[in-house]
Amino acid sequence: MKFRLRGIRLEKQGGGSDTRPVLSAHDDLAALPLLPPKDVAALAAAGLRSAAAVLDHLPKRYEDRRRFDAFPNQPSPVAVCLRGTVIDAGSRGFGRGRRFFEAVVINHAGDGVFGGGKLTCRWFNMPFIHKLILAGHEVVLYGKVKDVNGRLVIDHPEFEILRDDDEGESIHLERIVPIYRNIAGLAQRRLREIIHLLLLQTDPESLEVATGVPSAESRHQALKAVHFPESMDQVAVARRRFALEEFFALQLNVAWRRVRYHERPGRVLGLKTTLLKRFYQSLPFDLTDAQKRSIKELVVDMRTARPMNRLLQGDVGSGKTFVAMAAMLLAVDSGCQAALMAPTQILAEQHYLTFKRWLEPLGVRMALRTSNREESSHLPLEGEPQVIIGTHALLFDAVAFSDLGLVVIDEQHKFGVAQRAALIRQGVVPDVLVMTATPIPRTLTMTIYGDLDVSLLDEKPAGRGRVVTAVRVAPKQTDVTKFVREQLDAGRQAYLVYPLVEESETLKVESAIEAFDKWRKRLPGHEVGLLHGKLKGDEKEAVMRRFREGEIAALVATTVIEVGVDVPNATLMLLHHAERFGLAQIHQLRGRIGRGGHKGWCILLTDGKNPEALEKLGILERSADGFEIAEADLRLRGPGDVLGTAQSGLADLKFTDFLADTGLLREARALADAVLAEDPELNGSHLGLRGLIVVKDDRDGPQVTA
């Protein structure tokens, strides 16, 4: 048997008869004499066992090897793709006997004339590299050029060694070349060759699968376009098609679960409104129209027999807590228990205090349950608590509830899918209200929370102090200190926020602990507190309590204060190294101030070294709209950073770059809805799509995504 992989030529139009397909997309590659066993093993180790699977390993980027970048004469923050010749290669030493490998590369077209360009590539801790790169090699390099003591250097470039026969119509040169995520045991070139071969040898018919997405192009054509494109436009079209297929599968699952969840028997709650009316009368303010609207929406849900599954989305300070209280009172009035689950100890504690203040006068029995604290409100009335507030310790205490009718989950995305399901399993399909203060871009809501109905608090209660946000580039510390002191002298309180707990060598970020000492000296006569993630739970609580009670005037803190903390007298927030925070995160943080009637200040301090960061922070100066900011954040940082992919269930998505494409998501959703409307059980005309449903049995309660 002869393996014909080397020097594969591009398929010519109307190519020879030896390109007739010889395998079917789902054949086991190990059973075919097409690839050497070593390659098959490497692919199998990466989970790729069939042509279909290998062809689904899409390029992570492309190099246009028809036009290489000019050889650099200065460092650049943008990666360049170069073609060059190695003129010298060898091992070098640096300090204490440690060694690294270095290759000097000149412009491929170099004619020896001065100014032709020369570059050094370095590899550290890669003992095998000296076997790969030799003087005389022609190479393609990809990486960022920096200046090291006057020399232009690329450390650990991605590289590929060219061969003589690459000239002409090779798949490796003089075309747009795909670059793949590495697969152990397969060189980039080899992988490219295998994929090219499989595209030639796989029967196009066998590649077709039921995706639910109509398309003019065959799957084979689309795969060819994405692996070996003639233009980047071709890539864009093919990738969009694959993204649509992926989102369709996601939406089909979401829609499927939504239908299944609503089919389950829930309970009818909220017919009696005595408590709710008394609650309204006890409030010193009128509810906003948005609050009233949201309460109406959830009353409708609760009164029907199908279980409520609703997301309450509202910017910080929009009054979500009061909507939750209304829902919980309705549950209590119907004779069952209501639970509120908060993401942290501090928040559970704070919710407990707030709820006690409003609900205890109405005669509601309340309890706090967290991992290290249990407390019940003391009432003349005996009996089970009616409203239970806690952290996820609630989840693991199976006897916590005797009759759970409603679960309110605060800050949903901080909980995992499994946790949410676990809590829900405790009751007999209770109504669920999920509250999130993180404004989630509409496109993501559709994807992640697609199985939830959405209520929106898009209006802030009146009488709020205005919050002025200002970016300050490297101001004088004395000016900053003076501003803080003025606020404190006026009786206000301040948050002094830092991005990290401990000094990091590389980031050179002033730590909160270090800052605490400095601020104590800067603010004599005022009590300064310190709050960070490494404090123990009860230490944190003690600090928060002292801040809430006004004993601490200025709180040096890391982002642990991010969610839900409510101290109306705090009017100033100084954010150090603001460029290190995400936009949505800063927006969350500044929601902590201006909660009372006083004017609030959010000062974003930055060194100004990064123009992009300055531009980004400028958005916060201009906009107070959480959704607008979240969308900007999504565009700038991608969905992973915005939500944390693992938690949001987006980890398995390949085409996350399309998540900001509202049109595409809507299209996927519409297609999925249409399919289920036509064939709700997927056992008729769309039977082929049944395989796309990931959770086949949904008794564990609603899930956020597949």
Q: How many whole angstroms separate alpha carbon 493 and alpha carbon 570?
A: 4
Instruction: Return the residue of 206, 318, 493, 558 that touches ligand ADP, per CB under 6 A.
Output: 318
Could you tell me which stretch among 209-217, 221-229, 311-319, 389-397 binds ligand ADP (CB under 6 A)? 311-319
Distance CA(457)–CA(211), nearest Å, equals 37
Count, residues near Mg ion per rule CB under 5 A: 3
- Partner touching 317 among ligand ADP, Mg ion, none, CB below 5 to 8 Å by kind: ligand ADP
Please report how close the Cβ of residue 269 comes to Mg ion at its closest, in angstroms: 5
Distance of CA 390 to the CA centre of its chain: 26
266: partner contacted, choices Mg ion, ligand ADP, none (Cβ within 5-8 A by kind) = Mg ion
Number of residues that bind ligand ADP (CB under 6 A): 17
By beta-carbon proximity to ligand ADP, the closer residue of 143 and 314 is 314
- Out of 159, 248, 261, 322, the only residue in the binding site for ligand ADP (CB under 6 A) is 322
For the chain, report the end-to-end CA distance as a whole number of angstroms.
44
Answer for which of 266, 270, 317, 450 binds ligand ADP (CB under 6 A) is 317
Give the three-class secondary structure for 54.
helix
Name every residue whose Cβ is closer than 8 Å to that of residue 175 and which is 6 or more positions away in sequence.
10, 65, 66, 169, 228
Q: Which is nearer to ligand ADP, 84 or 314 (CB)?
A: 314
Judged by beta carbon, residue 602 or residue 650, the one nearer ligand ADP is 602
Number of Cβ atoms within 10 Å of the Cβ of 583? 24
CB of 571 to ligand ADP, least distance (A): 14
Residue 552 pairs with which residues in a beta bridge?
Answer: none
Q: Identify the residue among 72, 117, 416, 461 touching ligand ADP (CB under 6 A).
A: 461
Q: In sequence order, what DSSP letters do the residues of 75-134 get, joined into one string?
A: --SS-EEEEEEEEEEEEEEETTTEEEEEEEEEETT--S-TTS-EEEEEEES-TTHHHH--
User: According to the binding rule CB under 6 A, does residue 270 interact with ligand ADP?
Assistant: no
Q: Which uninterrupted H or E stretch holds 421? A: helix 417-426
CA 242/CA 223 separation, integer angstroms: 9
Q: Could you give the string, one character per residue 69-88, with x where binding to ligand ADP holds by CB under 6 A and - elsewhere?
A: --------------------
Please calculate the CA angle 283-289-290 and round it to the nearest 5 degrees: 105
Q: How far is the CB of 295 from Mg ion (least distance, A)?
A: 15
Q: Count of residues for the chain? A: 706
| Cβ-based nearer residue to ligand ADP, 315 or 333 | 315
302 binds, among ligand ADP, Mg ion, none (CB under 5 to 8 A by kind): Mg ion
Q: How far is the CB of 505 from Mg ion (least distance, A)?
A: 55
Site string for ligand ADP, 410-439 (x = CB under 6 A): ---------------------------x--
266 binds Mg ion (CB under 5 A): yes
DSSP string for residues in 625-676: -HHHHHHHHHHHHHHHHHH-HHHHT-TT-S-GGGTT-HHHHHHHHHHHHHHH
Helix/strand number for the chain, H first, E second: 21, 23
- Least gap, CB of 317 to ligand ADP (angstroms): 5
Residue 291 near which of ligand ADP, Mg ion, none (CB within 5-8 Å, type-dependent): ligand ADP
Q: How far is the CB of 437 from ligand ADP (least distance, A)?
A: 5
Which C-beta is closer to Mg ion: that of 108 or that of 425? 425
Give the contacts of 226 (CB within 8 A, at least 6 positions apart).
58, 59, 234, 235, 238, 239, 242
Tokens 């279909």, residue? 52
Indicate the residue among 457 and 543 with the shorter CB distance to ligand ADP. 457
Choices 287-295, 400-408, 547-555, 579-587 (CB under 6 A): range interacting with ligand ADP: 287-295
Q: Which residues pair with 374 in a beta bridge?
A: 369
Neighbours of 214 (CB within 10 A): 7
Q: Which stretch binds ligand ADP (CB under 6 A): 2-10, 315-323, 362-370, 600-608?
A: 315-323
- Give the whole-angstrom CA distance, residue 436 versus residue 105: 54
> Minimum Å distance from CB 320 to ligand ADP?
3
**Residue 282 carries which DSSP code?**
H
Residue 542, H or E segment = helix 537-548
Q: 660-677 in b/e burial notation, b at 16+ Cβ within 10 A? A: bbeebbebbbebbeebbe
**21 vs 596, which CB is nearer to ligand ADP?**
596
Quick check: helix, strand or coil at residue 146? strand
| Identified binder of Mg ion from the candidate list 81, 173, 179, 302, rule CB under 5 A | 302
User: Does 222 sit near Mg ion (CB under 5 A)?
Assistant: no
How many other CB atoms sit within 10 Å of the CB of residue 580?
15
Instruction: Select from 5, 22, 259, 287 the one that contacts ligand ADP (CB under 6 A).
Output: 287
One character per residue 164-203, x = contact with ligand ADP (rule: CB under 6 A): ----------------------------------------
Site map 333..372 versus ligand ADP, x via CB under 6 A? ----------------------------------------
DSSP letters spanning 333-356:
HTT-EEEEE-SSHHHHHHHHHHHH
573-602 residues near ligand ADP, rule: CB under 6 A: 595
User: What is the closest distance, in whole angstroms, from the C-beta atom of residue 312 to ligand ADP in the complex?
Assistant: 9
Strands 528-531 and 554-557, bridge-based pairing = parallel
Judged by CB, which is closer to Mg ion: 431, or 631?
A: 431
Nearer to ligand ADP, 110 or 461 (CB): 461
**What residues line the site for Mg ion (CB under 5 A)?**
266, 302, 431
Q: Which residues bind ligand ADP (CB under 6 A)?
A: 285, 287-288, 291, 314, 316-322, 437, 461, 566, 568, 595
